[in-house]
């Protein structure tokens, strides 16, 4: 199918055929869901040994009684687990509660209102504050900015990371830029891994940006490879150390998509100056993180080998689901002008770009045919995809057979929306 070279007659014939096909699908009363970027019950069960793992031994490696108050920055074994996941120095780690989103919010709140490096460093003193958001991206990042009154400016996400020419240009031109959101590995939703050059250029932003500029490096899928030959993400901590920009990047990760999604352990990795500022804030609003859960996780995943073995089990469950999505896209859209996509080998999403002005209609058609998709626009700040093209597909929760069924509906909806838009 090549819409741009089709005659009006051909388009009308396609429209008629696709409408008939779509009606057949609607009549099947399907109920399928490709919206949820969360682990399936089978994945969660991989970690059910967590409860009971302590066998009465609540003592941390350093002798701390994990049951009592305190330990604002985490136990040694909790830090080591974070370091194993993120590929950083354990000393750079602060262990949080069950949500890295909370740590990101707290870090941004601290930077904006209270100052990461003293009260005078608070962004709010500078009037308008802006963050750079590569698009498409993660809606929860946008919500954090919105909640704190931080404006968002977008740059395109390319197949090797954010468009760094655009990022550098924005920073040079606009003195109100204070940060950049990044999901560097298996980016949400496009699934790309930032190239070595991109990582290097991001680490170098601290040289041209405002002194309080911070890259929020949300390494949510650091060890979430679908294949054994996973691409390595270059170390931004090492690049920053080399360039002397250690304070310009704050890294985040969690075990949410490693063990139990809602009951995991979250981590920050940052420079001593940033950790000091974050700890000063945290000391006012928590009695310390859940240290028992840190020990549970550290005993369940005691080293990198155990972590790797565990993540291979996730991959075995996820990989066929991704394959079902990608096979459908390739068999139906390869060589057409109906859409483009990346082929992620990790993470939780496949991102599909329709022809302009077709995403919303595709999602609407799919919903009417019983296939729930993430609302079009959700991957853009303020929910506004200016070209109305991007759709995020999340195949982790349904069964492989359900993903296959859902994708059959999806491709028909894409085609029908495309043809109708072309005819309109």
Q: Under the rule (CB under 8 A), what is the footprint of its own copies?
A: 38-39, 41, 44, 47-48, 51-56, 58, 65-71, 97-99, 101-102, 105-106, 109, 113-114, 143-144, 146-147, 256, 260-263, 281, 283-293, 296
- Asked if residue 136 has a cis previous peptide bond (ω within 30° of 0), the answer is yes
| Shortest reach from residue 66's CB to its own copies, in Å | 7
| Shortest reach from residue 9's CB to its own copies, in Å | 49
| Shortest reach from residue 402's CB to its own copies, in Å | 17
What is the pairing mode between strands 214-218 and 249-254? parallel
Residue (108 or 419) nearer to its own copies, CB: 108
| Shortest reach from residue 109's CB to its own copies, in Å | 8
* Distance in angstroms (rounded) separating the CA atoms of residues 364 and 341: 20
For the chain, give me the number of helices (H) and strands (E)?
A: 14, 13
Residue (24 or 283) nearer to its own copies, CB: 283
Within 13 A of 124's CA, how many CA atoms are on the CB side?
14
Which DSSP string corresponds to 117-169? TBGGG-GGGGSS-EEEEEES--HHHHHHHHHTT-EEEEEEEEBTEE-HHHHHH
| Shortest reach from residue 111's CB to its own copies, in Å | 14
Residue (118 or 175) nearer to its own copies, CB: 118
Which DSSP string corresponds to 363-383? HHHHHHTTEE-PPTTTTSGGG
Residue (1 or 261) nearer to its own copies, CB: 261
In this structure, what token pair is assigned to residue 345? Answer: 């080998």
| Shortest reach from residue 207's CB to its own copies, in Å | 31
Residue (299 or 360) nearer to its own copies, CB: 299
Give the contacts of 359 (CB within 8 A, at least 6 positions apart): 353, 376, 377, 385, 388, 389, 390, 391
| Shortest reach from residue 287's CB to its own copies, in Å | 5
In this structure, what token pair is assigned to residue 193? Answer: 């891994």
Which DSSP string corresponds to 159-188? BTEE-HHHHHHHHHH-TTEEEEEE--SS-T
* Distance in angstroms (rounded) separating the CA atoms of residues 200 and 404: 39
* Distance in angstroms (rounded) separating the CA atoms of residues 82 and 389: 36
Residue (288 or 302) nearer to its own copies, CB: 288
| Shortest reach from residue 45's CB to its own copies, in Å | 8
In this structure, what token pair is assigned to residue 244? Answer: 């002397």
Secondary structure element (H or E) that encloses residue 350, with its range: strand 350-354
Residue (206 or 347) nearer to its own copies, CB: 347
Residue (149 or 244) nearer to its own copies, CB: 149
* Distance in angstroms (rounded) separating the CA atoms of residues 249 and 212: 10
| Shortest reach from residue 238's CB to its own copies, in Å | 30
Residue (42 or 163) nearer to its own copies, CB: 42
């Amino acid at each position: 199918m090549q819409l741009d070279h089709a005659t009006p007659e051909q388009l009308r014939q396609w429209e008629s055929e696709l409408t008939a096909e779509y009606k057949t699908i609607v009549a099947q009363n399907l109920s399928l869901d490709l919206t949820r970027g969360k682990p399936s019950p089978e994945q969660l069960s991989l970690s059910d040994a967590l409860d009971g793992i302590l066998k009465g031994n609540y003592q941390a490696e350093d002798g701390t009684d994990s049951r009592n108050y305190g330990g604002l920055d985490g136990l040694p074994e909790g830090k080591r687990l974070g370091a194993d996941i993120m590929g950083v120095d354990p000393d750079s780690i602060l262990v949080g509660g069950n949500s890295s989103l909370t740590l990101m919010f707290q870090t941004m709140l601290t930077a904006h209102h209270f100052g990461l490096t003293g009260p005078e460093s608070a962004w709010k003193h500078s009037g308008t504050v802006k963050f750079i958001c590569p698009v498409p991206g993660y809606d929860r990042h946008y919500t954090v900015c919105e909640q704190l009154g931080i404006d968002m400016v977008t740059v395109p996400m390319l197949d090797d990371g954010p468009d760094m020419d655009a990022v550098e240009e924005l920073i040079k031109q606009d003195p109100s830029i204070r940060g950049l959101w990044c999901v560097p590995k298996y980016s949400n939703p496009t699934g790309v891994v930032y190239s070595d050059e991109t990582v290097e250029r991001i680490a170098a932003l601290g040289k041209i940006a405002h002194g309080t500029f911070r890259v929020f490096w949300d390494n949510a899928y650091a060890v979430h490879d679908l294949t054994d030959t996973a691409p390595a993400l270059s170390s931004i901590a090492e690049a920053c150390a080399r360039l002397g920009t250690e304070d310009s990047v704050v890294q985040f990760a969690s075990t949410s998509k490693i063990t139990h999604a809602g009951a995991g352990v979250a981590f920050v990795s940052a420079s001593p100056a940033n950790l000091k500022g974050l700890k000063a804030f945290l000391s006012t609003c928590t009695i310390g993180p859940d240290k028992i859960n840190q020990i549970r996780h550290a005993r369940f995943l005691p080293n990198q080998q155990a972590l790797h073995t565990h993540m291979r089990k996730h991959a075995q469950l996820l990989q066929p689901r991704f394959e079902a999505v990608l096979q459908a896209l390739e068999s139906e859209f390869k060589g057409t002008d109906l859409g483009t996509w990346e082929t992620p080998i990790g993470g939780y999403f496949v991102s599909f770009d329709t022809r302009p002005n077709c995403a919303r209609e595709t999602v609407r058609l799919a919903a009417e045919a019983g296939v729930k998709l993430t609302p079009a626009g959700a991957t853009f700040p303020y929910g506004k995809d200016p070209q109305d093209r991007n759709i995020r597909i999340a195949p982790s929760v349904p069964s492989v057979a359900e993903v296959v069924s859902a994708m059959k509906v999806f491709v028909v909806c894409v085609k029908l929306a495309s043809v109708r838009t072309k005819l309109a």
